[in-house]
Structure 1
């Protein structure tokens, strides 16, 4: 196994682990959104930021390893190859391990994307509920008195100043 292939496999494996951890956090975030637990949601968001920072750092290392691998291959000197290109060009032990890590990483990414879409929808629904609740608590003056406001006094009335 070549050193650069081992580095790429190692980096992809570690990125997969970080994304699996992100998936667990995303599921916790879903539960926090469902139960309206803002403290748990804040904790999840804080931990997500740390994960994203670690992923970005690891992605730079993986990218450098891929460039190093490409420098030694004919036809890739100026281009940055995709993982599928590296798999195609790799020899048997490297290819098998790289395919395994890559395929499992893709599955984790798909699950994470699906979970984050759900979280986005839950957040959108929560915001819609909040806006609807605010609209119900702050009706317009026309709806408040079921008619025109009388004099200048009607414009300054609050919701709690109206007559039943």
Structure 2
């Protein structure tokens, strides 16, 4: 078995991850501009991308397992890194190139998603702060004082008989 199906799958994964990176950058813009409807649409599209990536990842794992079986090698969890150690020539170069390109896109995506997570966290902190400012605390509702005073009948100086 050749490495071509694995390289092809990894190339497709890289393209999907690049598309996911572009969506993540649009998500950053939506977070900055407080565009919740646009953000919801982006999240739906992002979910579809993740599902497609999951399918490709399963296909890649199956192809790697087949490659290991064809070579008579056994590993509990075969990886591309270990495959590269058992290869040489043009197949190794093609697989190494596809692997490196995918790793670079994944690193960029991880960095972009960390930025989005931080923006979301800051946005939630702002919302919580705004809510805290709008809702009075229980201590301020009665303007101080204790409950004993409020249960006693109130008498005015002018209520006395003459």
Q: Which of these two proteins has the greater Rg computed from alpha carbons?
A: 2
Higher relative contact order (CA 8 A, sep 6+): 2
- Give the match for residue 119 of structure 2: 122
Which consecutive unaligned segments of at least 5 residues does structure 1 have?
Answer: 153-164
Q: Cα deviations across residues 93-123 of structure 1 (Å, max 9, x unaligned)? A: 1111111111111011001001111111111
- Give the match for residue 69 of structure 1: 67
**What is the RMSD computed on CA atoms of the aligned residues?**
1.7
Aligned pairs for 1:92-103 within 5 A? 92-103=89-100
1: distance between equivalents of 2:138 and 2:78? 64
Task: Choose the corresponding residue for 1:52, options 36, 50, 53.
Answer: 50
1: distance between equivalents of 2:42 and 2:139? 43
Matched, 1:133 2:130: yes
What is the SS of the residue equivalent to 1:72?
helix
Task: Choose the corresponding residue for 2:145, options 144, 148, 152.
Answer: 148
How many pairs does the alignment contain?
149
- Give the match for residue 111 of structure 1: 108
Deviation at 1:81, TM superposition (A): 1.9
Deviation at 1:78, TM superposition (A): 4.6
Deviation at 1:47, TM superposition (A): 0.5
Q: Cα deviations across residues 124-163 of structure 1 (Å, max 9, x unaligned)? A: 11111111000000011323454237748xxxxxxxxxxx
Which consecutive unaligned segments of at least 5 residues does structure 2 have?
Answer: 152-162
- Give the match for residue 82 of structure 1: 79
1: distance between equivalents of 2:17 and 2:75? 29
The 10-residue stretch of structure 1 (139-148 or 64-73) with the greater mean CA deviation from structure 2: 139-148
